[in-house]
Amino acid sequence: MSGKAPLEVGLIAPQIPPNTGNIARLCAATRSTLHLIGPLPFSLNDRMVRRAGLDYWPEVVIRQWEDWEGFRAASAGRRLLFFETGPYRDYTQALYRCGDILLFGQESRGLPQRILAEQERNVFTIPIYNPKVRSLNLANAVSIILYEALRQIEAREREREGGKECPDVS
């Protein structure tokens, strides 16, 4: 898949700078826009954020939003998919499409309940098989979901005998 990735990633009020840096590096690798939805308790100039992103920062398209309401207004008309621990449908059951924005909550609290309540049919989970483990690391979860979504989209493109499902955007 060349050009810009057909997907975008959003982090709602992330708390741990190295997770955000690792996710930024993942977005650079996949050419996915990264939405950082505030409030953010750290600066993108934080040493731990910069270190986790290595020297790939020039390759990351980042859009920052003060709050959920600002992001939501700007993304009107876009399909939003949410990922959370708990009794939701398995992430592999989602049919990912070009233009989707994949959204993840805080490391310690997950997604806000008000968002989960209004978006329930678009919430998915990564199964955790050990009941003693509450959640996965945020950067790992984003990696799992983003690459599954890209895999699905690329597989559909191959089924179309080389036709593109998503237009390339440079």
60-97 per-position pLDDT tens digit? 899 999 999 999 999 999 999 999 999 999 999 999 99
Q: In this predicted structure, what is the pLDDT of residue 44?
A: 76
The model carries a pTM of: 0.90
If residue 142 lies in a helix (H) or strand (E), which one and from where to where? helix 138-159
The confidence band for 4, taking pLDDT boundaries of 50, 70 and 90, is low
What span, in angstroms and rounded, lies between the C-alpha atoms of 85 and 83? 7
Assigned fold of 8-159? Alpha/beta knot (3.40.1280)
Spans of all domains in the chain: 8-159
Residue in the block written with tokens 């959003």: 10
pLDDT in tens, 136-154: 999 999 999 999 999 999 9
Contacts of 8 (CB under 8 A, 6+ apart): 32, 33, 34, 35, 100, 101, 102
Amino acid at 12: I
